[in-house]
């Protein structure tokens, strides 16, 4: 009489030694690319199938344009903005500026195709990362930025400048003047010294209007 044996059948699981033999013979789970069969590390596989936030470096003053262009392409993007008082020659006007000039955040799966789709948009420069891949931004950091914006509290960008460091004003009528950065009552102030007479004056300044020298 012919007997047909089916491996891993549910009714065999309770037989003595059956389950353990199946586990011993079953190969280690592996992830392979369809084209080459090459094994992909689990961390790399996770990057290829799960979406995350990435920082996109933009051309100067192209953040808003990129926001519009990428949104039109159904790409999930985030551009934190802050309201500032712009001083013109004859009037003052409130305008919206990027909180992190030169950057916009993209939420997507980090594949070569998705990166190309974004970088093909005029104004996009490169993703922040290394070895050809974009580096993830933790979700909690993006969430924290969103919460900052929801509070509607005045927000100043904070460049990597130490209090007491020499800085140069890069915007406004005082552009090009160099001095010292100090902090007073939680606000930044720019100090201009006249060394010969050992005198100085200071003004309150926006951190985005200075650079370290």
- Report the predicted TM-score, pTM, of the whole model to 2 decimal places: 0.57
- Over residues 93-109, the mean pLDDT reads 89
Mean pLDDT, the chain, as a whole number? 76
DSSP classification of residue 39? B
Q: How many CA atoms lie within 13 A of 35 on its CB side?
A: 0
Q: How many domains does the chain have?
A: 2
- 118 and 204: one domain? no
User: Do 94 and 175 belong to one domain?
Assistant: no
pLDDT at 16: 46
Instruction: State the pLDDT at residue 5.
Output: 39
Contact 133, 48 (CB under 8 A): no
The residue count of the chain comes to: 213
Domain span at residue 180 reads: 166-212
Q: Does residue 59 sit within a domain? A: yes
| 184 in the same domain as 112 | no
pLDDT at 209: 84
> What pLDDT score was predicted for residue 166?
86
Shared domain for 56 and 146, answered yes or no, is yes
**pLDDT band (50, 70, 90) for residue 43:** low
What is the DSSP secondary structure assignment for residue 208, as one 8-state letter? Answer: G
At 46, the pLDDT band (50, 70, 90 cuts) reads: low
| Angle of CA points 101, 104, 106, to nearest 5° | 170
| pLDDT tens column, 49-73 | 689 999 999 999 999 999 999 999 9
Residues 62 and 143 in one domain: yes
User: Could you tell me if 104 and 129 lie in one domain?
Assistant: yes
């Amino acid at each position: 009489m012919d007997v047909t044996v089916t491996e891993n059948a549910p009714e065999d699981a309770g037989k003595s030694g059956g389950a353990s033999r199946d586990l011993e013979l079953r190969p280690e789970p592996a992830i392979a690319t369809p084209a080459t069969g090459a094994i992909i590390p689990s961390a790399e596989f996770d990057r290829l199938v799960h979406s995350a936030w990435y920082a996109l470096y933009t051309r100067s003053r192209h953040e808003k344009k990129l926001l519009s262009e990428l949104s039109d392409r159904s790409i999930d993007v985030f551009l934190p903005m802050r309201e500032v008082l712009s001083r013109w020659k004859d009037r003052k006007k409130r305008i919206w500026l990027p909180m992190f000039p030169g950057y916009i955040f993209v939420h997507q799966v980090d594949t070569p195709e998705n990166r190309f789709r974004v970088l093909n948009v005029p104004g996009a420069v490169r993703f922040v990362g290394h070895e050809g891949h974009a580096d993830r931004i933790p979700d909690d950091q993006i969430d924290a930025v969103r919460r900052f914006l929801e509070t509607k509290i005045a927000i100043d960008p904070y460049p990597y400048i130490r209090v007491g460091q020499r800085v140069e004003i890069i915007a406004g009528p005082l552009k090009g003047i160099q001095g010292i950065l100090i902090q007073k009552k939680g606000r930044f102030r720019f100090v201009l010294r006249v060394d010969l007479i050992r005198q100085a004056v200071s003004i309150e300044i926006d951190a985005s209007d200075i650079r370290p020298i």
